[in-house]
Each structure stands twice: as structure tokens, then as C-alpha cells.
Structure 1
Amino acid sequence: MELTINHQSHFYDQLPSSLEGLMLLEFPEKTKGIAVAVNNQVIPKTAWSNTTLQHQDHILIISATQGG
């Protein structure tokens, strides 16, 4: 199964059961200050556990950074 994450292909024997599962698998240290869109639709963090993923979904992950 294939997902495109930030314009890079990632292959899985089996897709994570939810967006939350994907985030824990790929970015376990990133739990705050990130926004995620699946197929150009922003998914609120409260909906990550209920958001299922499909083969060839496009996921964009944006991390907030502090700057001046």
C-alpha cells in the first residue's frame, strides 16, 4: 500500500488503521504544533483517530516553528 507524505512515496505492507496511527508510526516525537491534511482536506487533531487512510492518499504535514 502506498501513501504520499509531503510529496514522497511511502510504502506499507498494511496501512495504519487511522491517521493517528500513521502519525504515531512516522512521527512519534511530534505531537504538538502540527497540522495535517489528507487529500487537501485539513483534519483536526480531534478527528485523527477516526480518519481512515486509503491506498494512494496524499498527506501533507506542516510543523509550526518558532521564529522572529
Structure 2
Amino acid sequence: MQVQLNGKTTLLSEHCITIADVLAESPWSGRRILVEINGEVVPREAYGRTSLSEGDQIEFVHFVGGG
């Protein structure tokens, strides 16, 4: 399936059907991420049940510490 991920056209593997599936992939695994699909923020508890569709615009925002 082809989507826009952080502004880049990306081809997801066939087993990536939910946000949780994509986040399990490197380089996203283990990071604290805010997810937005087609302009809507997705609550963390909905990642496993939020299905992705061809052409979705997905934004992953990860948090970086600093000081």
C-alpha cells in the first residue's frame, strides 16, 4: 500500500494494516510518537484498531529531549 508518510511517498509492507503495525517497524519501534492521519490526531489507544488505506497522509511526530 502506498501512503504519504511525513511528506514522502512510502510503500508499506503488506502486513502493515494498522498504525500499530507501522510503529512496530524500524525506525519507529520504541519511540514516543504522536500520530496524525489525514489531518486528524489518533489517540494512542486506537493505534491497533486504526486501519490504513491507500493514499493516506500520515504524520509521525517524535519527541526529542533537550536542554
Tell me the residue number matched to 2:8: 8
Tell me the residue number matched to 2:47: 48
Matched residues, percent identical? 21
Q: Provide the alpha-carbon RMSD of the alignment.
A: 1.5
Instruction: State the alpha-carbon separation in 2 of the partners of residues 15 and 9 from structure 1.
Output: 18
* SS of corresponding position for 1:59: strand
| Number of aligned positions between the proteins | 66
Q: TM-score under structure 1 normalisation?
A: 0.83
Instruction: Give the helix-richer structure, 1 or 2.
Output: 1
* SS of corresponding position for 1:35: strand
Uncovered stretches (5+) of structure 1, i.e. residues with no partner? none
Q: Do the aligned residues in 2 keep the contact of 1:19 with 1:51 (CA within 8 Å)?
A: yes
Letter in 1 for 2:4: T
Moved beyond 3 Å, runs of 4+: none
Cα pair distance change 1:15/1:5, threshold 3 Å: farther
Q: TM-score under structure 2 normalisation?
A: 0.84
Instruction: State the alpha-carbon separation in 2 of the partners of residues 36 and 59 from structure 1.
Output: 7
